[in-house]
Amino acid sequence: MDDVLHKIETLYFEHIVSEDGILDDEGESNVPLENNNNVRYTFTDSNDYGKRSDNEIKKIKCINDCMEALSLVHMFIHQNCESFKPMYFMPDSHQRKLIEDDAPPDDALPDDVPDTNSDPLSECLEEMTIVD
């Protein structure tokens, strides 16, 4: 199970999160697809709506179906296998910082409000390397 989880997370990182990735995550249903429902993922070199060939449309549909299946497997592993917790490419120290900086305490004064200009997730992704 660990190998499956590692392969899914590595695939996502190498092909979407990485600067050299070949896929763009445009967000759920944000990409109109000719004669089909909207999709989430496109290839970095995909043509704009209306300029895609039939084969390119098939490729975009295929990658969206594959990513949806991988997402379901990923979620299943995390919900049903206690020993495999989500990695989401973030060390525990960054996860704690995100939770701590989520919102100021109810009784916070303006001077007590934490700085919201930092982006721990982006900082973490910049520091990451994939180890085989």
The tens digit of pLDDT for each residue in 76-125 reads 888 887 666 555 544 444 444 445 555 555 565 555 555 555 555 666 55
Q: Quick check: 40 and 29 in contact, CB under 8 A?
A: yes
Are the beta carbons of 50 and 57 closer than 8 angstroms?
A: no
How many residues does this entry show for the chain? 132
**40-75 pLDDT per residue, tens:** 999 999 999 999 999 999 999 999 999 999 989 988
Dist. CA 35–CA 22, nearest whole Å: 24
User: What is the pLDDT, as a whole number, of residue 38?
Assistant: 94
DSSP secondary structure code for residue 41 in this structure: E
